[in-house]
Structure 1
Amino acid sequence: MVGRKIGMTLQWLNDGTRCLCTMIHFPDNVVLSANDPETWWRLSVTGKQKAFGKRGPMWSQMVGAYNDDSVFYTDEYRKIFEKVGVPYKKFMAGFMVSEDAVVKPGTILDVRHFQVGQYITLSGKTIDWGFQGVMHRWGMKGMTRRNTTKAHRRVGSIGVKGEGKVWLAVAFLVIWAMNGVVLLGIKFLELTQLSR
């Protein structure tokens, strides 16, 4: 399913243990297509790698979320939704599922698809912090605060010997975040369905 993180909150279990929970909203999820392994392998580059992988034959399931106006999209994109007969969606995501978990196209998915106590895998992008300097991005000390006007947050001398060398994959001024993150084994604690 496709969802959006809307915040964090605290929950207390029956034994009094406090746990930090992430709240996720799953709006307007609809199954758009289901491709069997042979079709997926024939039509997609990704399918050639994953349709018949180490997990056995896997189906490709496409899910759309967040209703949107059709004027923002091309004719090709609109045909995907008109073929199934569902409203136009802002986001689409593909999932690999086994044959016994395939859902018919056009089926509406909501939060009841999950069960309390179930362990799920979450994937998404981190917050975009933009273009940051070395003190914020890498936690470097910077230069002296006193007797400087334009250099107190610059990197200064980084050294080139021993432990002071420039480590590989540590760029200095970079755009921070917008990275893909995958969280495995997250426990589903509470299910709340919003009234429509």
Structure 2
Amino acid sequence: MSALSRGVIARLQLFWTISQPQSNLNFWRSGPLSEPLIFRAYLGSPSTYSTLSTHGQDEMEGRGKLLAEAQVRAMGAESRRTGAIAVKCGMTGLWDKWGTRIPITILWVDDNIVTQVKTLNKEGYNALQIGAGQKKPKQLTQPMLGHFSSQGVPLKRELKEFRVSEDALLPVGTPITARHFVPGQHVDVTGITKGKGFQGVMKRWGFAGGPASHGSSKFHRKPGSTGGRQDPGKVFKGKKMPGHMGHEQRTVKNIYIYKIDPARNLLWVKGQVPGNEGAFVLIKDAVYKKPDASLLPFPTHFASPDEDLLSLEPITADLGNADPYMKD
């Protein structure tokens, strides 16, 4: 097929799409960055559009999107809160009183909001879809644009679904900040590890390698024998051999939250977190070292309307009279 015929067919498809009702939905952002996001959806041309508020609960109620109430509740024994999506900013360190450096990873909870509510009656389970970051309309596909439009939320860069209990459901548009967690609690952090490419057995599996001398000829980093003789006559599946290393989903459990900065939505966590700097990670309440339910905001932290975020001071975990992570 020639390029001319492909171009004609593409033009005809575009004309047919625009002529159809409720199709070719487009978005753009209006207002400065400091104001709440408002997207204008139009059909065909920008001259005919309708304004769609991202945080208007009246509009959500009319669409049936307000499936839960944003109010403080009592957390039960079987309650399960939602998690959050954070950006790995980098690592720093603190010195304990013995002079040992404690690694600290800084995580940024980047503009998390609830983008979808899934209930037991409709989807068969209770869950919240959380969106993080920002993205331009041209960077998203039409199905994703339609998803954000139907939910009435701004465009997000990363989406993740968290299973929750029924009493932890939140309405669409509810923000999830760093104060969803409290200093001193333990969390589980999930991320994609750094990719190492194709590696040999010494780097990938920690093999010792062959001898460096005494008759060794070009056998320094090789794996050695990989199978038996005629019986079994094959190499079993799962044999540790050279191959692709890294770029796998891993979860680091029971990470301690040392400090929270509410003004900048930052978390200081003790230890390493999988992934490169700038990568998204998932933070959830620890499964094995469960936090004290009386200290957690449930279902999340609701900021007061007259609260000045810039005036908030960082909150450090209560470690008693002597901070074990600081030198005397």
What interval of TM-score do these two structures reach, taking the shorter chain for normalisation? Answer: 0.7 to 0.9
Relative distance call for 1:167 and 1:117 in structure 2 (3 A) is: farther
**In 2, Cα distance between equivalents of 1:171 and 1:15:** 40
- Once the two structures are superposed, the pairs formed by residues 28-43 of structure 1 within 5 Å of their partners are 28-41=111-124
1:113-128 alignment to 2 at 5 Å? 113-128=180-195
Count the aligned residue pairs. Answer: 176
Retained in 2: the 8 A contact 1:121–1:183? Answer: yes
The worse-fitting range, judged by mean Cα deviation, of 89-98 and 184-193 is: 184-193
Alpha carbons of 1:12 and 1:104: their partners in 2 closer, same or farther (altered >3 Å)? farther
Deviation string for 1:53-104 (max 9, x for gaps)? Answer: xxxxxx1100011211111221111112122333211211000111222121
Distance 1:30 1:112 in 2: 13
| Aligned twin of 2:175 | 108
The one-letter code of the counterpart of 2:252 is: L
Q: Unpaired segments of 5 or more residues in structure 2? A: 1-83, 230-234, 265-308, 311-328
CA deviation string 1:161-194 (max 9, x = no partner): 9xxxx88623311111222222333222200232
Q: Do residues 183 (structure 1) and 252 (structure 2) align?
A: yes
- The answer to which structure has the higher strand fraction is 1
Is structure 2 residue 131 aligned with structure 1 residue 131?
no
Q: 1:65 aligns with which of 121, 132, 148?
A: 132
TM-score, length basis structure 2: 0.47
Quickly say closer, same or farther: Cα 1:15–1:104, change in 2 above 3 A. farther
Query: CA–CA distance in 2 between the matches of 1:115 and 1:26?
Result: 14
Asked if residue 81 in structure 1 is aligned to residue 148 in structure 2, the reply is yes
Q: 1:111 to 1:11 in 2, by over 3 A?
A: same
Unaligned runs of 5+ in 1: 42-50, 52-58
- Is 1:4 the counterpart of 2:87? The answer is yes
Q: Which has the larger radius of gyration?
A: 2
SS of the residue aligned with 1:78? helix
- 2:137·2:155 contact (CA, 8 Å) conserved in 1? yes
Q: Is the 8 A contact 1:40 1:60 kept in 2?
A: no
- Conservation of the 8 A alpha-carbon contact between 1:68 and 1:90: yes
Is the Cα contact below 8 Å between 1:120 and 1:188 reproduced in 2?
yes
Alpha-carbon distance in 2 for matches of 1:12, 1:100: 41
Normalized per residue, the structure richer in helix is: 1
Cα offset, 1:107, TM superposition: 1.5
Tell me how large the CA RMSD over aligned residues is: 3.2
- The structural deviation recorded for 1:150 is 6.3
| Whole-angstrom CA distance in 2 between matches of 1:137 and 1:167 | 18
Does 63-72 or 168-177 show the bigger shift?
168-177
Q: d(CA) in 2 for partners of 1:188 and 1:64?
A: 22
Q: CA deviation at 1:14?
A: 9.3
* Higher RCO by CA contacts (8 Å cutoff, separation 6 or greater): 2
Closer, same or farther in 2 for the Cα pair 1:167/1:189, shift >3 Å? farther
CA distance in structure 2 between the partners assigned to 1:152 and 1:17 by the alignment: 36
TM-score normalised by structure 1 residue count = 0.74
CA distance in 1, matches of 2:225, 2:239: 15
Q: In the aligned structure 2, how far is the partner of 1:158 from the partner of 1:69? A: 51
Q: Which residue of 2 aligns with 1:170?
A: 239
Question: Identity across aligned pairs (percent)?
Answer: 30
Q: 1:104 aligns to what SS in structure 2?
A: coil
Equivalent residue runs for 1:11-30 within 5 Å: 11=94, 19-30=102-113
Provide Cα deviations, 1:101-153, integer angstroms capped at 9, x if missing partner: 21211122221221112222222221111111122112223345569896543
Q: Which amino acid aligns with 2:122?
A: T
